[in-house]
Amino acid sequence: MDPPPNRIAITTGGGDAPGLNAVIRAVVLAAGRLGWECHGIRDGFNGLLAPAGCLGEPVVPLSADAVQGIGHLGGTILGSTNRGNPLRFPVRQADGSMAEQDRCGELATLLRKRGFDALVAIGGDGSMEIAERLHRHGLVVVGVPKTIDNDLDHTIQTFGFDSAVGFATECIDRLHTTAHSQHRVMVVEVMGRYAGWIALHAGIAAGAHAIVLPEIDFDIDAVAAAIARRDAAGHRHAIVVAAEGAQPRGGARAVQATAGIGQAERLGGIGAWVEARLAERCGKECRSVVLGHLLRGGSPSAFDRVVAARFGAAAVRALARGESGVMVTLGGQDIGTVPLAQLAGRSRRVPLDGDTIRTALELGICLG
């Protein structure tokens, strides 16, 4: 066990999610009650590795006054990035080309030079991988899970997911009325690269007629047949929800941009693909809508605010107990911790034998 810290660094990395500010606030307030000092690193770890690109001071003090009234705000007051992974940091070479470089050891040194005793890293699977590597470099680190996709292993839910599902549900509710009026098929593309939690939950909540997920290679003809059955029964509109990582049987995922130096693969376009194929097969007017980053924006739901606050306070408790190299997790009703090393290469996908999939099928929803 490590001794309790006196000076904590806080960082938010990867894609933003509703609830990040609530975590920051909770860490600062809980640490302040123990007499600990908190500082925020801007834009993931770029505040240390590429400070010239940050607006304002790259490392900022975070007092109770500084975090007053931020718990209900979306985004993150520290900024974030998904293009500054210190394990694969883009560095310009002498010939002008770009190459990826592991700067994690340098980052650990910079954190120590700043006088930080511990780091609270708030982020998704990439941020947890970085946190685990920093722990191996001898830093005291506690991770806080963040992803609207809800695909981080060892925690039953992450903040941001409830907010994303709530907004997606509201959008699909609205699309029902226009689809019904115009006798259309509406295809709604939502986030979910490798796990279809948002699509499945929002689809069930909003009464979708078909849902396609990354976990099930779908048959477009089966989806078209489900729509035809609705038509035959006198129901002339349909709603299809598609996770961005859904893949047609015998086909490939829809990719907007391939992975490059310092940049992950970017998915998108499955909604338009499904729209075009259904129009061909069903002879109906079809439209597609991409919710995309709308799901990341806006204020967090009450549930996400509470989970985020609990995660932030639990991270401080873990540090006070001398824990390091762990991530706080929600298991059942309680917050616990799990070693970061156990997260490597793992993700939490929708279980095909689980109750939620079974519920969708029993409601008559086509899953392709």
Catalytic residue selected from 16, 43, 117, 149: 149
Q: Report the candidate in 159, 195, 165 with the shortest Cα–Cα distance to residue 328.
A: 159
Annotated binding site: 15, 83-84, 124-127, 147-149, 184, 191-193, 244, 287, 293-296
With H, G, I as helix, E, B as strand and everything else as coil, classify residue 10: strand
Burial zone of 56 (CB within 10 Å; 0-12 exposed, 13-18 middle, 19+ buried): exposed
End-to-end CA distance of the chain: 50
Other residues' Cβ atoms within 10 Å of the Cβ of residue 292 = 14
Q: Which residues on adjacent β-strands are paired with residue 329?
A: 336
Give dist(CA 169, CA 174) in Å, integer.
Answer: 9
Half-sphere CA count of 133, side-chain side, radius 13 A: 18
Half-sphere CA count of 165, side-chain side, radius 13 A: 23
Q: Which residues on adjacent β-strands are paired with residue 78?
A: none
E-assigned strands of 175-304?
A: 185-190, 210-212, 238-243, 255-257, 266-267, 286-290
In which element (H, E) is residue 203 found? helix 197-205
Annotated binding site for substrate: 147-149, 184, 191-193, 244, 287, 293-296
Concatenating the DSSP letter of every residue in 24-44 gives HHHHHHHHHHTT-EEEEESTT
Asked whether 232 and 178 are in contact (CB, 8 A), the reply is no
Active site residue 173: no
Q: Report the candidate in 255, 53, 15 with the shortest Cα–Cα distance to residue 149.
A: 15
Write out the two tokens for 288.
Answer: 């597609």
Catalytically active residues are 149
